[in-house]
Amino acid sequence: MKERVFSGMRPTGKLHLGHLAGALTNWVKLQDEYECFYSIVDWHALMSEYADSGQIRSNCREVILDWLASGLDPEKCSIFVQSMVPQHTEIHLALSMITPLGWLERCPTYKDQIRNMQNKDLGTYAFLGYPVLMAGDILLYKASRVPVGEDQSAHLELTREIARRFNYFYGPIFPEPETLLTPTPKVPGTDGRKMSKSYGNSLNISEDLKELWEKLRTMKTDPQRERRKDPGNPDVCPVWDIQKVFNPDLEERERLENGCRTAEIGCIECKKALFAHLEKLLIPIQQRRRYFEQHGDELGDILREGARRAKVVAEGTIDEIVQAIGLFR
Ligand code: TRP
């Protein structure tokens, strides 16, 4: 029996190189070792996008395309959209019964988001319960491992606390899931800040390769290196950060690093080397993406099959919950 993994991603639209390096590459590896459930969590998206939900459906499609393109294999893992498995909403309600308000109000991500998202009204009942829905996602499958980045650690901790409290009231139903902390390498965007759709600085997985080169070519490097003859400092160069993530050729990297520090090479040479590696990585990914773009029927089949497999587990857990609480069914 393989251990079970669950992870989710909000449908934000086309995914970028940060998603690839920070999550997807790891998810692809896990599908060989674990029984994996990967879900596009559209209800979570709605919690912040409820006033403008028109993008959610097309964003889900983009995410599924990028997942399949990046190597998630529906023969090895189950891929589905959260709202296709209605048991997610049912477990969310059940868990909300026993979750103390204070736990949610004290959650650091809640306070941060309310402060940072001044353009959206996140003062809703549902948004406070974001971590409860997430706990439900994980506990519905009794997943033992959850691959996430550091930013989700507090939510995983809450998930364990909710599981413990539920078990305390109704008996041992839920295992406490372990965080599989995914090392999230630093992937800056074109402006040097963290790559993020909301900054408009992304290099997308599906980026046209000519455009990718244009973006890379014009990207700022070490600000102190004004002229070709000035020596550079890779430690403060955002292109070098990307190079460290996507150039696996350590010898070449050493050559580039020394060349930069001694001004033997210019930034363009370094960028060309990086682009060659990105091209090599992305060509087969983009080929797979185009295949699925043109075979929409297969996309539907993959999601229906993923949801069917998810429901088999989800229905079992809901039955246990109903029994344990003592609802009349
Ligand atoms: N909150 C996660 C994020 O924003 C997405 C998510 C929802 C998730 N449910 C999950 C991640 C369950 C892991 C497990 O990235």
Q: What is the mean pLDDT of the chain?
A: 97
Compute, in angstroms, the gap from residue 155 CA to the centroid of ligand 1. Answer: 8
pLDDT at 305: 98
pLDDT at 271: 98
Short-list 263, 275, 281, 256, CA closest to 217: 275
Other C-beta atoms lying within 10 Å of the C-beta of residue 270: 25
Compute, in angstroms, the gap from residue 137 CA to the centroid of ligand 1. Answer: 8
pLDDT at 183: 85
Summarize the confidence of residues 178-192 as an average pLDDT. Answer: 94
Number of domains in the chain: 2
pLDDT at 85: 99
Give nearest CA residue, ligand 1 atom 10: 8
Same domain, 109 and 215: no
Residue 231 makes CB contacts below 8 A (sequence gap 6+) with 225, 260, 261, 262, 263
Burial class (CB in 10 A: 0-12, 13-18, 19+), 134: buried
Closest ligand 1 atom to 137 CA = 12
Same domain, 132 and 267: no
Give the CATH number for residue 320: 3.40.50.620
Q: For 183-192, 276-285, 319-328, which range has the lowest pLDDT when averaged over its residues? A: 183-192
Check if 47 has its Cβ closer than 6 Å to any atom of ligand 1: no
Phi–psi pair at 5, nearest 5 degrees:
-120, 135
Residue 221 makes CB contacts below 8 A (sequence gap 6+) with 232, 237, 238, 239, 240, 267, 270
Same domain, 146 and 44: yes
Asked whether the beta carbons of 190 and 219 are under 8 A apart, the reply is yes
pLDDT at 208: 98
Burial class (CB in 10 A: 0-12, 13-18, 19+), 284: exposed
Compute, in angstroms, the gap from residue 300 CA to the centroid of ligand 1. Answer: 23
The DSSP result for 11-30, as a single string, is: --SS-BHHHIIIIIHHHHHH
pLDDT at 176: 98
pLDDT at 126: 98
Check if 140 has its Cβ closer than 6 Å to any atom of ligand 1: no
pLDDT at 117 over 90: no
pLDDT at 142: 98
Asked whether the beta carbons of 187 and 17 are under 8 A apart, the reply is yes
Same domain, 157 and 264: no
**Coil, strand, or helix at residue 148?**
strand
Q: For 113-117, 212-216, 267-271, 307-311, which range has the lowest pLDDT when averaged over its residues? A: 113-117
Buried b (16+ CB within 10 A) or exposed e, 112-128: ebeeeeeebebeeebbb
pTM for the model: 0.96
Written as six digits, the tokens of 44 are 């979570």
H runs (alpha helix) in the chain: 17-19, 25-33, 42-49, 56-70, 87-98, 101-105, 108-116, 125-128, 130-140, 153-170, 209-217, 238-246, 250-261, 267-294, 296-325
Same domain, 181 and 246: no
pLDDT at 311: 98
Which of 6, 19, 30, 44 to mutate for ligand 1's pocket (most ligand atoms within 8 Å of CB)? 44
Check if 65 has its Cβ closer than 6 Å to any atom of ligand 1: no
Q: 159: domain range?
A: 4-186+296-325
pLDDT at 66 over 90: yes
Which H or E run includes 144? Answer: none
Amino acid letter for position 184 = T
Give nearest CA residue, ligand 1 atom 15: 9
Give the CATH number for residue 231: 1.10.240.10
Same domain, 267 and 309: no
Band (pLDDT 50/70/90 cuts) for residue 118 is confident
Check if 39 has its Cβ closer than 6 Å to any atom of ligand 1: no
Short-list 142, 161, 158, CA closest to 3: 142
Check if 127 has its Cβ closer than 6 Å to any atom of ligand 1: no
